[in-house]
Chain A
Amino acid sequence: MRRDGRSPTFLFSCLCFGFAFLYVPILVMIAYSFNDSRLMSVWTGFSLRWYGALWENERIIDAALLSLRIAFVSATLATALGTLAALAITRMGRFRGRTLFSGMLAAPLVMPEVITGLSLLMLFVTLEGAVGWPSGRGADTITIAHVTFSMAYVAVVVQARLMGLDRALEEAAMDLGCRPMGVTFDIILPLIAPAMLSGWLLAFTLSLDDLVIASFVSGPESSTLPMVIYSKVRLGITPDVNALAAVIVAIVGIGIAVAGWLMARMARTGSAGVRS
């Protein structure tokens, strides 16, 4: 343990400080969701009233449902497209426009959201003027926007897995009489399934989290959850948002636990194909 200049005590205190930094704000936020007072300055007693208020706030509930729907559809589409893109990059050799393709695939990772949102809005407005589609903006345009930037993340995750996959597995399948398309379904897809699931979860989270791009490409009728939260918190602290935060943290906690269990199970059955 004492192999280098940093003593365990020093590292330990760094870890304690770091995790305190990461978790204290969240815990404080959750704690105040149980505060009876509207103000964050005083603790007037334990209460669940903000959870009640949250439950009754149809705007938040509707926005949450819309966000979940968009996240589900866009994550699924992004996983499909991102997986295809990763396959194209790693398994299709050289093709015309490959450089442009990999550039376009990587660019959303470094593109400020403000620019992505702005440019997609310009596209939708122009398209509407030119071909009449999409008529107005709403859930569909948000979904398209989310697919576009999250497929890049899926592609990165899946690509990493594909690169670690032993090429001999695919050659063995072909050697035994399988055509290349069949190899994709028999061998590649089952073995990259865990990465696809990770990618899907990532895309789902990115979509649920996105405020900026959605603000650009949404219509008046479609406010996602982050948009509603933003419009509330821009003006200051509101305890029902604290309650919402507590609910989200609880859901994520449970979700991570389940996902961790599932992934551990899949890893046990599928990871042997990865070369270390």
Chain B
Amino acid sequence: MGRGGSAEWQRPERQWRRTVAGVPYLWLLVFFLAPFAIVLRISFADPLIGQPPFTPLHDEAQGLQLTADNYRFLTEDDLYWVSYLKSMRIALVATLLCLLIGYPMAYGIARARPVWRNVLLLLVMLPFWTSFLLRVYAWMGMLSGQGVVNKALLALGLVDQPVQILYTDFAVCLGIVYTYLPFMILPLYAVLERLDGDLLDAAADLGGGPRQAFLDITLPLSAPGVVAGSMLVFIPALGEFVIPSLLGGLDTLMIGRTLYDEFFINRDWPLASAVASVLVLILVLPIVVFQRVSQLGREAAR
């Protein structure tokens, strides 16, 4: 069916269309795209003590001033490389853990009686609506030396003395799993809920055991949910700042935190800008391209 978008009669409505598309377009140009252009320009400046803390890019006397020093520094100092790899690793482990906990939960909800489903879903969503920061904070209390977790471990006789959990990579992983679990469950649920019970019956009828039916039918058909959920966890986890800074140790260098410190503690704006520019290039661009490609794939498949 045609979209009618090319129909001639729409011409008098141009003014209206222009407003609808133009206002948000302009906003995004000014407040989303322009900032990146500026970041890119500042990343080629020298730091300066003053306000703003970088050398002007355009000098009356000398014309355009560009320096690649910041990028050279990035390649020399392995702090950024280490942070990047560590972010990747922690985000990946956390995503897998989310999947491990979230899949059976989503499956359980999808197979629950319809009356219960919405209640359970609401229970999954509820923590999301409370403060993110406070949920991370809750784990500070749980994991501290005198916290509930250590007390439980001691009481069960699993350890003799409190173990250091807070301020470790493990705590960061746990924090990420905890805060992003709903994002894993919801898309998985959406896929599993739509799964046709008849398909499973058919599989069972054709002689596959229940385990076989799960492996042959349920798992492959829920793949889109697994991908969507994993993306929803992995992407924000990668750039996470709050969780590593509250639950992580001094050596839990995740890239978001490194960038934050570079900016607020070292106050090196040009270097931070260079880090940001590289991050956009190696972190955001691949994701955008991936989504674009998979979207085109979906459209082609239709």
Question: Across the interface, do A115 and B28 meet the contact criterion of CB distance under 8 Å?
Answer: no
Question: Across the interface, do A107 and B288 meet the contact criterion of CB distance under 8 Å?
Answer: yes
Q: Which residues of A contact B284 (CB under 8 A)?
A: 107, 110-112, 115
Interface string of B10-53 (1 = CB under 8 A from A): 10010011011101110111011111101100100000000010
- How far, in angstroms, from A245 to B238 measured CA to CA in the complex? 26
Q: Which residues of A contact B276 (CB under 8 A)?
A: 114-115, 118-119
Query: Nearest Cβ in chain A — how far from B43, in angstroms?
Result: 10
Question: Across the interface, do A40 and B280 meet the contact criterion of CB distance under 8 Å?
Answer: no
Interface string of B123-166 (1 = CB under 8 A from A): 11011111111110111111010111000000000000000000
Cβ-Cβ contact count across A and B, 8 Å cutoff: 275
Query: Nearest Cβ in chain A — how far from B87, in angstroms?
Result: 9
Question: Across the interface, do A115 and B204 meet the contact criterion of CB distance under 8 Å?
Answer: no
Known contacts A2-B210, A112-B279, A212-B242; is A241 also within 8 Å of B134 by CB?
A: yes
- Report if A151 contacts B (CB, 8 A): yes
Interface string of B102-141 (1 = CB under 8 A from A): 1011011101000000001011101111111111011111
Question: Across the interface, do B146 and A148 meet the contact criterion of CB distance under 8 Å?
Answer: no
Query: Nearest Cβ in chain A — how far from B22, in angstroms?
Result: 8
- How far, in angstroms, from A104 to B291 measured CA to CA in the complex? 13
- Report if B170 contacts A (CB, 8 A): no
Query: Nearest Cβ in chain A — how far from B19, in angstroms?
Result: 8
We find that the number of chain B residues with CB closer than 8 angstroms to chain A is 101
Q: Which residues of B contact A275 (CB under 8 A)?
A: none
- How far, in angstroms, from A42 to B283 measured CA to CA in the complex? 45
- Report if A6 contacts B (CB, 8 A): yes
- Report if B224 contacts A (CB, 8 A): no
Question: Across the interface, do B141 and A32 meet the contact criterion of CB distance under 8 Å?
Answer: yes
Q: Which residues of A contact B138 (CB under 8 A)?
A: 25-26, 28-29, 245
Q: Which residues of A contact B287 (CB under 8 A)?
A: 110
Interface string of A38-55 (1 = CB under 8 A from B): 011110000000000000
Interface string of B199-218 (1 = CB under 8 A from A): 01100100001111111011
Q: Which residues of B contact A118 (CB under 8 A)?
A: 39, 259, 263, 272-273, 276
Q: Of the candidates A110, A181, A215, which one forms a contact with B288 in the assembled complex, judged by CB atoms under 8 Å apart?
A: A110
Q: Which residues of B contact A10 (CB under 8 A)?
A: 104
We find that the number of chain A residues with CB closer than 8 angstroms to chain B is 97
Give chain A interface residues in 208-246, CB to chain B under 8 Å: 208-209, 211-212, 215-216, 226, 229-230, 233-234, 236-237, 241-242, 244-245
Known contacts A29-B138, A88-B20, A108-B32; is A248 also within 8 Å of B107 by CB?
A: no
Question: Across the interface, do B20 and A229 meet the contact criterion of CB distance under 8 Å?
Answer: no
Q: Which residues of A contact B236 (CB under 8 A)?
A: 112
Q: Which residues of B contact A8 (CB under 8 A)?
A: 111
Question: Across the interface, do B16 and A180 meet the contact criterion of CB distance under 8 Å?
Answer: yes
Give chain B interface residues in 249-302, CB to chain A under 8 Å: 255-256, 259-260, 263-264, 269, 272-273, 276, 279-280, 283-284, 287-288, 291-292
Question: Across the interface, do A29 and B137 meet the contact criterion of CB distance under 8 Å?
Answer: yes
- Report if B80 contacts A (CB, 8 A): no
Q: Of the candidates A21, A81, A171, which one forms a contact with B27 in the assembled complex, judged by CB atoms under 8 Å apart?
A: A81
- Report if B71 contacts A (CB, 8 A): no
Question: Across the interface, do B242 and A230 meet the contact criterion of CB distance under 8 Å?
Answer: yes
- How far, in angstroms, from A252 to B128 measured CA to CA in the complex? 10
Interface string of A1-23 (1 = CB under 8 A from B): 11111101011101101110111
Question: Across the interface, do B126 and A252 meet the contact criterion of CB distance under 8 Å?
Answer: yes
Question: Across the interface, do A26 and B25 meet the contact criterion of CB distance under 8 Å?
Answer: no
Known contacts A26-B130, A87-B20; is A3 also within 8 Å of B38 by CB?
A: no
Question: Across the interface, do B126 and A256 meet the contact criterion of CB distance under 8 Å?
Answer: yes
Chain A residue at minimal CB-CB distance from B42: A122
Q: Of the candidates B109, B137, B235, B279, which one forms a contact with A115 in the assembled complex, judged by CB atoms under 8 Å apart?
A: B279
- How far, in angstroms, from A2 to B210 measured CA to CA in the complex? 8
Q: Of the candidates B104, B144, B269, which one forms a contact with A40 in the assembled complex, judged by CB atoms under 8 Å apart?
A: B144
Query: Nearest Cβ in chain B — how far from A38, in angstroms?
Result: 12
Q: Which 7 residue pairs across A and B have the least CB separation, nearest first?
A: A112-B239, A93-B5, A41-B146, A119-B35, A5-B211, A14-B104, A88-B21
5 other contacts beyond A11-B111, A110-B291, A179-B13, with CB at 8 A cut-off? A14-B107, A25-B138, A42-B146, A103-B288, A118-B39
Q: What are some 29 contacts across the A-B interface (CB < 8 A)?
A: A3-B200, A10-B104, A11-B104, A12-B108, A25-B141, A26-B127, A85-B25, A88-B21, A88-B24, A88-B25, A92-B5, A104-B28, A111-B284, A112-B236, A112-B239, A112-B241, A113-B256, A114-B239, A114-B260, A115-B276, A115-B279, A119-B38, A119-B276, A129-B52, A148-B27, A155-B24, A181-B13, A245-B134, A252-B129
Q: What residues of chain B have their CB less than 8 Å away from a CB belonging to chain A?
A: 3-6, 10, 13, 16-17, 19-21, 23-25, 27-29, 31-36, 38-39, 42, 52, 101-102, 104-105, 107-109, 111, 120, 122-124, 126-135, 137-142, 144, 146-148, 178, 181, 197, 200-201, 204, 209-215, 217-218, 235-236, 238-242, 245-246, 255-256, 259-260, 263-264, 269, 272-273, 276, 279-280, 283-284, 287-288, 291-292
